[in-house]
Amino acid sequence: MSLSLLNYARVAGSGRWALGVMAGNSRAYHQKVIDHYENPRNVGSLSKEDPDVGTGLVGAPACGDVMKLQIRVDKEGNIVESKFKTFGCGSAIASSSLATEMVKGMNVNDAVKIKNAEIASELKLPPVKLHCSMLAEDAIKAAVKNLEEKRAKSDLNEAEAEAEATTA
Amino acid sequence: MNGILILGRTITAHGRAYVRKSLQAHREIVHGGGIRFETGVGAGYAGRTPKCSLVRYLAIKSHPTAADWSEHDFYSTADSTLTSLHDSIEVQSDKLGGEFDIELSMGVLTVTLGNGLGSYVVNTQTPNRQLWLSSPKSGPARYYWDFRERQWRSSRDDSYLREKLNGELTELCGISIPLQEEGDDS
């Protein structure tokens, strides 16, 4: 273990070695990634049973990256709240943290248009880490899709209830 | 892991119910199979296995063609692809300037084009039997092995890895990539 790595770990504190392992001599993460990793925005969960919450869960545990991104959407389709939990590398955590910030206040129709390249260029991700930004893009899309399915189902239930009420 | 991947790509309502019921069994396979998480402790999960993720993993990521592909056989196919790509690019290196660099090491092919054109990275992703491409032109993409076609194909749109690389590298710097692997007549 190099001296620079040890120094880095001490500065980062809280015994989190995962970041330090990648941050060798020349291959350090960009400051923006470290910032999101150290101070992730919007970590947490929304109740996935709520009718106005969409949950996107993407990634593969075997590959080491799992990302959960949730959105709460008002009647006009605007995202009022977003939370994430990510298990993975620093870039995956930073990508999903940034994604929650980006989608807040957005309409879902615009949120699904967010491209991985926007996330990657904002975080200055190196080539091998572009996949992390793609995972974040997928997570947003999956969350919106989940909400749409939920709403379609509840519309159907309402229609059925109405039909029953009419026959009764 | 093979037990998990058997379900295949298309998950029907019946399939989803099956996955739900089998979640406990899958968890046991995952733990029993000795798969460890090595990329660090993320925000939130703090190293615990996020149990629901397996369902999504099954629904999206598995390709039935890779169901019972041993790690050894996967790696030998992947490695011969990477070696072949490496060799066909390297012999055309005269088309690029002094910053050009190509390296194949530990299942990762890194091609630095130089002249501000960026870098291509193709790496083996052993757990899901894929090759992952990072392109400075089109971003990230994942490829699975199509046993019938004997080609790596995009998990998103079924396009071919070699066609993609050939198209982009020809446009960027005049480097062409053979659309079939050498010595593969099928």
Q: Residue A82 is inside which H or E element, if any?
A: strand A79-87
Query: Domains, chain A, ranges and CATH?
Result: 41-167 (3.90.1010.10)
Domain spans of chain B, in order of start: 11-62, 67-173
Could you tell me which residues come within 8 angstroms of residue B186 by beta carbon, excluding any fewer than 6 positions away? B150
Q: Residue B60: which of A19, A58, A88 has the nearest Cβ?
A: A58
According to DSSP, residue B39 is labeled S
CA distances from A161 to A52, A157, B124 (A): 20, 6, 52
CA distance B93 to B83: 15
B33 close contact with A: CB closer than 8 A:
no
Return the top range by mean pLDDT from A22-31, A53-62, B133-142: B133-142
- Tell me the shortest Cα–Cα distance from B67 to chain A, in angstroms: 15
CATH topology of domain B67-173: Metal Transport, Frataxin; Chain A (3.30.920)
Burial of residue B161 (CB within 10 Å: 0-12, 13-18, 19+) is: buried
Give the pair of three-digit tokens for residue A103: 């989608």
Q: What does pLDDT average to in each consecutive run of 10 residues of chain B (186 residues)?
A: 36 48 39 30 37 38 58 93 96 90 95 93 92 95 90 93 97 93 59
Are the C-beta atoms of A8 and A16 separated by less than 8 Å?
Answer: no
Residue numbers in B near A63 (CB within 8 A): 125, 127-128
CA distance A49 to A124: 36
Identify residue B66 by its one-letter amino acid code. Answer: A
Q: For A115-127, write each residue's pLDDT tens digit.
A: 999 999 999 999 9
pTM exceeding 0.90: no
Q: Residue A83 is inside which H or E element, if any?
A: strand A79-87
Are the C-beta atoms of B162 and B177 separated by less than 8 Å?
Answer: yes
Verify whether the Cβ–Cβ distance A64 to B38 is below 8 Å: yes
ipTM of the complex: 0.74
Residue numbers in B near A115 (CB within 8 A): 139
